[in-house]
A = this chain, B = another copy of it.
Amino acid sequence: MVDIPKEIKTWQMVTPYGKNGKTGEILTGKIEKTTIPVPDLKEGEVLVEIAGCGVCHTDLGFFYDSVPTVNKPPLTLGHEISGKVVSGDSKWVGKEVIIPAAMPCWNCALCKTGRGNRCLAQKMPGNSMGIYGGFSSHIPVPSTDLCEVKERGKTPLSCLAVIADAAVTPYQAAKRANLQPGDNVIVIGCTGGVGQYQLQEVKALGAKTVIGIDINSERLQKSLNYGADFIINSMGKSPKEVTGEFKDICRSTGLVSYGWKIFEVSGSKPGQEIGLSLLGFTGKLIIVGFNTAKVEYSISRLMAFDAEIIGTWGSFPGYYPIVMDMALSGRINIDNFVETRPMSSIVETFDEIHHTGSPEKRIVLIPDF
């Protein structure tokens, strides 16, 4: 039984925050409830009734920090989406799905040479899929890359929204790092929205020793239950001091200090500087988080160390079923890292995260139009 709507109800970003170029006056952004037509579905497209949509820092960047969306406002934000197919391609209708945060074109040279995660024509809900985004009752999307949800037990469909982006990005990062059972791993920013999955997934994939680094003692303590064998609180410490603590852990446990795979997920300049300081012989530093700051580094050290710095962008849609299985089989925990709220709290929720920073749990908004 499916329910085909006459129109899509949505929380549309009418205008993002901005600044008057002449006066410097802050121009307040506006997100408001509205309705948009249900479009005619093209061949291969489906209409998904949204169960939940996660709030990501990327959304806040679009709204507050002048990061431009590919499609100009007004448009609806939101790209961590789960839901149920209600219309379109008949073999999908009635199925529960996770919508990939980015869908490659599968038609360009990058896609055709196995780099589709970095397809330059990729489509992202809430950014480059016309006016459509996840903070809505429904969304039209291509069916090609949908991840079918099966046997989800007691896990609410809404919670599985976090698989998109938050939980698959770390999996792609682990693949880029060629993570192997027995590897020693450091996760910088291990208690953040993406970092907590990075921590859990490297452990689930067989990492031997995992060190979590972050700046919140309470959350760091909890991370010992979710993948971390050791923790370092880097608050107020120099990269050299953090590296000293790392070496102390190596000494006390008899672990070698070379060959570590270091995931920098904090996306902060101090986090990146810690990562560079920790990088040693045959090590890999994987850049998962983003910021616009420059860092100073002698890249010749990479030569002397036979070491690497690897950037990782997005995720292949094909990894979604794998990460979903990890979650549904309990190899990684998502239930304890998700908080659901009614979608009508979107303005307050955005405002709260914008002011208080990374929440301990990913907030998933559930349509309550």
Contacts and interface: CB of A to CB of B under 8 A. Distances in A.
Interface of A: 109-110, 113, 115, 117-118, 120, 256, 258-259, 267, 272, 276, 281-282, 287-314
Contact of A303 (B296, B305, B311): B311
Contacts of A294: 296-298
Nearest to A109: B256
Given A118-B306, A290-B303, A281 B311 contact: no
A365 to B, nearest CB: 26
A305 B120 CA distance: 10
Contacts of A290: 300, 303-304
A288 B306 CA distance: 10
A12 B35 CA distance: 85
26 contacts: A109-B259, A115-B259, A115-B282, A117-B306, A118-B305, A118-B306, A120-B281, A272-B299, A287-B300, A289-B300, A290-B304, A292-B300, A293-B298, A295-B296, A295-B298, A295-B299, A296-B296, A302-B309, A305-B311, A306-B311, A306-B313, A306-B314, A307-B311, A308-B310, A308-B311, A309-B309
A118 B258 CA distance: 11
Contacts of A110: 258-259, 281-282
B281 A299 contact: no
Given A290-B304, A292-B300, 17 more contacts: A110-B259, A110-B281, A115-B282, A117-B306, A118-B305, A287-B300, A288-B303, A289-B303, A290-B303, A291-B300, A294-B297, A295-B296, A297-B299, A300-B311, A301-B311, A306-B314, A308-B309
Contacts of A293: 298, 300
Contact of A304 (B301, B303, B304, B313): B313
Contacts of A118: 281-282, 305-306
A254 to B, nearest CB: 12
B309 A299 contact: yes
Nearest to A297: B294
Nearest to A314: B306
A77 to B, nearest CB: 19
A269 to B, nearest CB: 9
Enumerate the 6 nearest inter-chain pairs by beta-carbon distance, A residue then B residue, closest first.
A302-B311, A118-B306, A306-B313, A303-B311, A287-B303, A290-B300
A14 B215 CA distance: 53
Nearest to A283: B311
A306 B312 contact: yes
Nearest to A309: B309
B295 A297 contact: yes
Contact of A299 (B120, B282, B287, B307): B287
Contacts of A309: 299, 302, 308-309
A297 B292 CA distance: 10
